[in-house]
A and B are shown apart, each in its own frame.
Chain A
């Protein structure tokens, strides 16, 4: 059954409604809870197992050991790694935000924030160092 102008009532009805488009850059946009944003490191929680480096899809993570803190107390004998500090270098331009690093981390040291406006004019600004 063909009916000419079957779409017109819907279109005229839309005239009375307010538009659904968000005026995005001028009005802040909210992402839902659990959005996968930029990976972050909880300070001091990293034990340097490099599971995240091994599993990172985009090979965007590097873990480096920080030089030992001269003021720190000497490590207790028999315990490994205590007192050692690590930093994570994240190449955000490569990151695909899959959250595998957060999944694989045995100490839950990595979490993802809800930041999504991460574009930058230089690549260097996207090299994040976290301790």
Chain B
């Protein structure tokens, strides 16, 4: 390392990080010349735990992978299981699942907008955005019974129906939300101090984004048109009329614009869904508890990007393997790279612009025998010998 280059560690505990992760930034003055990221501070063992639980237990367990996109993870899992079992889910069930999913996207993007404002010190926008997010949270609590873990999915449909009064109420609240979203779109692109902080920060070219397989709003803001809802429509997204939002500014400003416009699209989708809500059952009446042998990969457009679940069934009521690829995994590395060249002050907003969710992404990594760091593996035999030597030398015990 050069003399003039100074390393600042950020994490595993730092005010800008909501979850543990470690970044090392090499800075020269205020400019960043190098960045490294180190995951591995969380181990929750959810994938392994799934192998010892039946499918219904797994569903509620996987809901807890992420606190914000909880519906995305269950939906992705349930879709995979339904594919293995070849289930035809009733249309009303799919519609309600989509309503919940889009409401979740709304509240997740609003949450992100607030966090982004907080990262650049725009506390008023943060507070007001979160105030309006409560409208969505209240709807979700009313229709599902909880603010965070909705538990509305079940294998073969959804668990709760929507009454007509609730349907009308949601449509009414959505009108207010759309007004507020238009206002935030105006603020986000016109307030000079805010735009000054996010314009040209954390740039990521379209080529690099495509090369590193970035997903979600992060990739769409770099003008990569990727959206599972359009590319590989699941549920009833093929019937919906909505736009795929992209932006070509490739920076944080683009990510703000993409997310705000996407929220307006989400409102449109929910309005369409609720106005054309088909009658009928919300879930299949009888679903076998045993899932036949087979594998399925399910893709779901979570608020943060493409969420992939892999499920292998083995004929019992427990999955043989569940693998979760949270969207942050795809974005984190290229986001760390995009910070290089910016100023120290841009680190929080550039990293936060992918809406990171480290605990969803993190899996345990064990490094045995790393010659670079000089770690060694002690075998059982060596340990035993060392113990015998220590006791015979210090305590005089003969074995």
A and B touch in the complex (CB under 8 A): yes
A50 in contact (CB, < 8 A):
no
Contact of A7 among B124, B146, B149 (CB under 8 A): B124
- Give the chain A neighbours of B183 by CB distance below 8 A: 10
Chain B, range 292-335, C-beta contacts under 8 Å to A: none
Mark A86-127 against chain B: 1 for CB-CB distance below 8 A, else 0: 000000000011111001100000000000000000000000
- From A7, A54, A98, A99, B191 is in contact (CB under 8 Å) with A7
Separation of A57 and B151 alpha carbons in the complex (Å): 12
Q: Is B37 interfacial (CB 8 A cutoff)?
A: no
- Whether A10 contacts B192 by the Cβ 8 Å rule is no
Chain A residues whose C-beta falls within 8 Å of the C-beta of B57 in the assembled complex: 55-57, 100
For this complex, into which size category does the number of interface residues on chain B fall?
20 to 34
Q: How far is B192's CA from A11's CA once the two chains are assembled, in angstroms?
A: 16
Give chain B residues whose Cβ lies under 8 Å from the Cβ of A1. 190
Contact of A99 among B128, B131, B145 (CB under 8 A): B145
Closest to A36 in B: B145
Contacts of A32 in B (CB 8 A): 138, 141-142
Complex Cα–Cα for A96 and B159 (A): 17
Q: A35-B141, A99-B145 are known contacts. Are A6 and B187 too (CB-CB below 8 A)?
A: yes
- CA of A56 to CA of B57, assembled, Å: 6
Interface size in chain A (residues, C-beta < 8 A):
27
The residue of chain A having its C-beta at the shortest distance from the C-beta of B196 within the complex is A2
Given contacts A20-B131, A55-B54, A99-B151, contact A7 B145 (CB under 8 A): no
Q: Is A31 an interface residue (CB 8 A)?
A: yes
Known: A36-B151, A57-B53. A96 touches B124 (CB 8 A): no
* Residue A3, interface by CB 8 Å: yes
A96 and B149 in contact (CB under 8 A), knowing A20-B131, A34-B142, A57-B53?
A: yes
Q: How far is the CB of B141 from chain A (nearest CB, A)?
A: 6
Contact for B187 among A7, A31, A36, A55, CB less than 8 A = A7
Q: Is A23 an interface residue, CB under 8 A from the partner? A: no
Q: Which residues of A contact B141 (CB under 8 A)?
A: 31-32, 35
Query: Within 8 Å of chain A (Cβ to Cβ): is B7?
Result: no
Q: Is B149 a contact partner of A4 (Cβ separation < 8 A)?
A: no
Write the nearest CB–CB distance from B254 to chain A, whole angstroms. Answer: 16
Q: Are B125 and A7 in contact, with the CB atoms below 8 A?
A: yes
Task: Please name all residues of chain B whose beta carbon is closer than 8 Å to the beta carbon of A6 when the two chains form the complex.
Answer: 186-187, 190-191
Q: In the bound complex, do residue B124 and residue A4 qualify as a contact, i.e. CB atoms below 8 Å apart?
A: no
Residues in B with CB closer than 8 Å to A31 are 141
Q: Say yes or no: B56 contacts A34, CB within 8 Å.
A: no
Residues of B within 8 A of A7 (CB): 124-125, 187, 191
- The chain A residue with its CB closest to the CB of B61 is A57
Instruction: Give chain A residues whose Cβ lies under 8 Å from the Cβ of B363.
Output: none
Question: Which residues of B from 61 to 85 have beta carbons under 8 Å from A?
Answer: 61, 63-64
CB-defined contacts of B56 to chain A, threshold 8 Å:
55, 57, 100, 104
Q: Cβ of A2 and Cβ of B142 under 8 Å apart? A: no
Interface 1/0 per residue, B102-137 and A, CB below 8 Å: 000000000000000000000011001001001000
CB–CB B190/A36 < 8 A: no
Of chain A, the residue at the smallest CB distance from B139 is A32
Q: How far is the CA of A88 from the CA of B151 in the complex (A)?
A: 23
Query: Whole-angstrom distance from the CB of B216 to the nearest CB of chain A?
Result: 27
Can you give 28 contacting A-B residue pairs, CB < 8 Å? A2-B192, A3-B190, A6-B191, A7-B125, A10-B183, A14-B128, A20-B131, A32-B138, A32-B141, A32-B142, A35-B141, A35-B145, A35-B146, A54-B54, A55-B56, A55-B57, A57-B53, A57-B56, A57-B57, A57-B60, A57-B61, A98-B151, A99-B159, A100-B56, A100-B57, A100-B60, A103-B159, A104-B56
| B residues neighboring A (CB under 8 Å) | 53-54, 56-57, 60-61, 63-64, 124-125, 128, 131, 134, 138, 141-142, 145-146, 149, 151, 154, 159-160, 183, 186-187, 190-192, 195
State the 6 A-B residue pairs at the shortest beta-carbon distance, nearest first. A57-B60, A36-B145, A98-B60, A2-B192, A32-B142, A57-B57
Told that A6-B190, A32-B141, A96-B60 touch, could you supply 11 new A-B pairs with CB distance under 8 A?
A1-B190, A3-B190, A6-B186, A55-B56, A57-B53, A57-B60, A96-B149, A98-B60, A99-B151, A103-B159, A104-B56
